[in-house]
Structure 1
Amino acid sequence: MANILITGSNRGLGLEWVRQYAEAGWRVFATCRYPEEAVELAQLADRYRSVRLYRLDVTNVGQIVALAEELKETPIDILINNAGVYPEKFLPLNAPLNYEDWAYTFQVNTMAPLRLTKTFVESLACSEKRLVVAISSHMGSISEITSPGSYFYRSSKAALNAVMKGLSLELKPLGIGVLLLHPGWVRTRMGGIDAPLSAEESVRVMRERIAAFTLADTGRFFRYDGSEIRW
């Protein structure tokens, strides 16, 4: 049975990643900050015996190290760095900027994926699939910036892209791939009710990108539909 580790699993895309991979017969290590409050995630764990829940705040180094220690004998075929924040989402353009929020956005969206990946390198290296997936956004593409605002989120995702591109070169000699994906505009709490894509559709199509991945694609940035995004 293949193993997948997913961050931010309690709602939205994270919850859908868990559901689809569990349904496909994978062993799923689902993490979130407050498992005791993740009712839908707990229901999935009850339905699928292959789903295991773990407490993980991706900004908490101690929790990351503890999880890695707990899973140290377990190969991780795929690590999905899904957890993310967008604190400016519902703020007007001229709202005062809270620079502490900006720092936190970088901790979650940029620093945590690198820290998690490096912490789990050995578990990835001893698996069959050997793949790191970073859920980015087309908003992190400088060439696609067409409006002002969202400075925290955009910069954190642009930085994530740069970090993962560099990391892909570091990990390629180990046979570990890095795939950057934009999930599209999805109807989640972050995406809002007007988004055209359901979480089910977005994850289903992204899973196709994952299944087709080869090391020739490592470090590249794709939309969920397979089209490549310029940096």
Structure 2
Amino acid sequence: MSERQALIIGASRGLGLVLANELVRRGWHVIATTRQEGGELRENADAWDGRLEVESLEMTSPEQLAALRERLSGRRLDLLLVNAAIDRGDLPIGEVPTDMFVEVMVTNALSPLRVLEALGELVVPGGTVAVMSSEQGSVSRNTEPGYELYKASKAALNQLVRSYATRNADDGRTKLLIDPGHNRTRLGGPDAPLIPQESIPAVADVLESQAGVPGLRFLDRDGETVPW
């Protein structure tokens, strides 16, 4: 059986970094992107003896995305996962500056879909196209105040992935939106109840178990359906 190939967009730290290492431990060959030189991802790549590759990408740059697509020409992926996202704090939506609104929406909703459009064709039929979403993007579960812009960006992401899945329903690829839970990362904050080293192995289990299952699913780290 040939080595499974994964591309993780946004793996310099946090969930993406832990997932890259987890997949390598499971026997995958992983290509992981970062916006910066050096750092822990590069150190991990050196330690994994060629099984973890590092690529440079600013996800919001169409030019950099096109350049990455060119560099990966001819590669075939079993998994493409977009992890990169940002949060700009807990302002009520009426106090959010327009430039902040645009920045968060472009990063969290528009740019992941640009990645899927540019790189999705590298995923083999039977492979998986996945995006790290959040329960915060569930409209039906939005019953507590706070983080309105982040919630809106994840809801927009979910809707756009739904549109992508509808347009590509017959391509033979699994499509997933993954809610990894509230993790103790730079984005999730120091008081989050989960740590990536505990939650990400469960996420990897979901990614592996869902491979080859047709259609789009919005699942949490335990493989349970998250309501839209």
Deviations 1:154-204 (A, max 9, x none): 111001111111211222311012101110011111112222211022110
More strand by percentage: 2
Amino acid of the structure 2 residue aligned with 1:117: L
**Contact conserved, 1:2 with 1:26, CA < 8 A, in 2?**
yes
Q: 1:128 to 1:220 in 2, by over 3 A?
A: closer
Aligned to 1:42: 42
Aligned to 2:149: 152
Aligned to 2:117: 118
Aligned to 2:76: 75
Amino acid of the structure 2 residue aligned with 1:114: L
> For this pair of structures, how many residues does the alignment match?
225
- Taking structure 1 as the reference length, the TM-score comes to 0.91
**Contact conserved, 1:179 with 1:217, CA < 8 A, in 2?**
no
The DSSP-based 3-state class of the residue aligned with 1:114 is helix
1:192 aligned to 2:193?
no
The DSSP-based 3-state class of the residue aligned with 1:74 is coil
Partner Cα separation in structure 2 for residue 165 and residue 215 of structure 1: 18
Partner Cα separation in structure 1 for residue 130 and residue 193 of structure 2: 23
Give unpaired runs (5+ residues) of structure 1: none
The DSSP-based 3-state class of the residue aligned with 2:184 is coil
**Contact conserved, 1:6 with 1:28, CA < 8 A, in 2?**
yes
Amino acid of the structure 1 residue aligned with 2:42: A
1:101 aligned to 2:100?
yes
The DSSP-based 3-state class of the residue aligned with 1:184 is coil
- Taking structure 2 as the reference length, the TM-score comes to 0.92
**Contact conserved, 2:85 with 2:108, CA < 8 A, in 1?**
yes
**Contact conserved, 2:92 with 2:148, CA < 8 A, in 1?**
no
**Contact conserved, 2:5 with 2:78, CA < 8 A, in 1?**
yes
Partner Cα separation in structure 2 for residue 216 and residue 18 of structure 1: 22
Partner Cα separation in structure 1 for residue 93 and residue 101 of structure 2: 16
Give unpaired runs (5+ residues) of structure 2: none
The DSSP-based 3-state class of the residue aligned with 1:228 is coil
Q: 2:216 aligns with which of 204, 214, 219?
A: 219
